[in-house]
Amino acid sequence: VLEGPEIEGAVVLEFPTFQAAKEWYDSAAYHEARQHRFKGANYRAFIVQGV
């Protein structure tokens, strides 16, 4: 970590398009799982295009 607090880990997912990533994040299936994740810790999520 160059700046900010230490991180415990990272998850990288690959999608064919930005829109596909947003659709997955906003999906009913992930919405249900996400609620459990929010109870466990503080998280940051972001989408990076063109990597």
Over the stretch 5-27, which tens digit does the pLDDT of each residue have? 888 888 899 999 999 999 999 99
DSSP, residue by residue, 1-51: --SSS--S-------SSHHHHHHHHTSHHHHHHHHHHHHH-----------
pTM, rounded to two decimals: 0.71
pLDDT of residue 51: 66
pLDDT digits (tens, 9 = 90+) for 33-49: 888 888 887 888 889 98
pLDDT of residue 36: 87
pLDDT of residue 26: 94
pLDDT of residue 27: 95
Question: Rounded distance, CA 25 to CA 33, Å?
Answer: 10
